[in-house]
Structure 1
Amino acid sequence: MSTFDISVVGPEDWPAISGLFEPKGPVENCWCTYFRMTAKERAACDPTERKDRLRGLVEAGERVGVLGFVDGVPAGWIGVGPRQGFPRLRGSRAAKPLPGDDPERIWSVVCLYVAREHRGRGMAKALIDGAVRWARDEKADAIEAYPEDDRDPVAGIDRSSFHGRVSTFQSCGFTVIEPRLQRRALVRKDLR
């Protein structure tokens, strides 16, 4: 039986991240930089520069997410951290703060990726649980995400989305706060 190991990214993890994300970074050469840059910064970066940017953060010791391994092989990733560390969220309708929110106390899940050969085996849930543990250890008040809303079986969802699914987050104890955009929802877990 396979075992999952989940850990917060450290400076020594670049080879594992690179191996998991190659060759395309994983979603359209994003390299988990979409929310880490303003729209103007991102437009000025090509895929190689995005890869180098993530590599620089990781190797500098920036804790940018959580990695999942199956029997020692990189199998999944969740981009997560304090909301303030994601400039692209400031203008996002999907991530619009609620009245009374203190953005410095809320963490955001911005990317969820599981390698194709490891899907359907619980890795996404293990990654989300790892992100929740990390946010709780760092004394966050809440952790939220902006996943595809799959609660209506006839609604079309983007199967290539890197946001995850509402049902997966619900299985990890997140609550749907409200629908957002056409097919997305704001989900949140209180950590206090």
Structure 2
Amino acid sequence: MPTQVTEDAGIPALRVVPVQQVPFADVEAVFGTKGDAAHCWCQWYKLPRSEWTMNDAELAQLLERQVRDAEHGPGLIAYDGETPVGWCAVEPRSALPGLPRKRLVAEGSPDLDFDDASIWAVTCFVVPRAHRKRGVGGALAEAAVAFAREHGARVVEAYAIDPSARSKVPAADLFPGTVGMFERAGFREVARPTPNRAVMQARFDAEG
């Protein structure tokens, strides 16, 4: 994947790079040591509940192994200059065994073959507080679509939050990404399982 560069008015140029091409220390810098990201390490859709006995360091090591072993994915890192400023999880749904158990996905996705490696999912964004409201999430969403398509995806799926459907949405709840952000990245809504959660897709097959 060639480095992605975005530059909008008032927003610094951002590079988005596949995680295999960066030092894992940059991933650790984005996830930090506090908050939900530092206690999950993008394992929510990967580990069964019986394995949620790992501590934060063990979860980080698990993600590091997944980065090393994955053919494509499991994510992208955004940079402002040389500073890592964001993470986006994107990979085939077949690498996420917990997805079919989520009601939002099971009832909302029009594509229910979870062994189909050509259907990808964007499941998580992590942007440290100091780098929010600067277009990092949007740049990552656009790059995720390009990355998935380049590596054989025919469908990319996301499970977005609609902030307008709730009176107040804590920042911690926005990790799946927002409807507006995905729309700007070329996704369209395909289902609304709950008032504030939408299943969205970017398709590159004949149905798109």
Task: Provide TM-score, normalisation by structure 1.
Answer: 0.88
2:82 is aligned, of 68, 72, 77, to 72
**Amino acid paired to 1:55:** E
- 2:202 pairs with 1:189: yes
Q: Label 1:36 to 1:11 Cα distance change in 2 as closer, same or farther (>3 A).
A: farther
Aligned to 1:8: 18
Match of 2:40 in 1: 30
From 40, 46, 56, give the equivalent of 2:65: 56
What amino acid sits opposite 1:178 in the alignment?
A
> 1:11 touches 1:58 (CA, 8 Å); kept in 2?
no
In the TM superposition, residue 79 of structure 1 has moved relative to its aligned partner by: 0.7
- The CA distance in 2 between the partners of 1:166 and 1:99, in whole Å, is 18
Q: After the TM superposition, which residues 163-178 of structure 1 pair with which residues of structure 2 at under 5 Å, given as runs? A: 163-178=176-191
Once residues 22 and 138 of structure 2 are traced to their aligned partners in structure 1, the CA distance between those partners, rounded to angstroms, is: 24
SS at match of 1:3: strand
d(CA) in 1 for partners of 2:62, 2:35: 12
Deviation per residue, 1:1-28 (Å, 9 max, x gap): 7320001111643111011112137535
Match of 2:171 among 151, 159, 167: 159
Q: Which amino acid aligns with 2:104?
A: A
The one-letter code of the counterpart of 2:171 is R
The residue number in structure 2 matching 1:124 is 137
- Alignment deviations for residues 97-138 of structure 1 (CA, whole Å, 9 cap, x no partner): 645544312101111121222211211111011110111011
SS in structure 1 of the partner of residue 172 of structure 2: coil
Pair 114,89 (structure 1): closer, same or farther in 2 beyond 3 Å: same
Question: Which ranges in structure 1 are unaligned for 5 or more consecutive residues?
Answer: none
RMSD (Å) for aligned C-alpha atoms: 2.1
Q: TM-score, normalised by structure 2?
A: 0.82
Structure 2 counterpart of 1:142: 155
* Residues in 2 aligned to 1:183 and 1:158: alpha-carbon distance in whole angstroms: 13
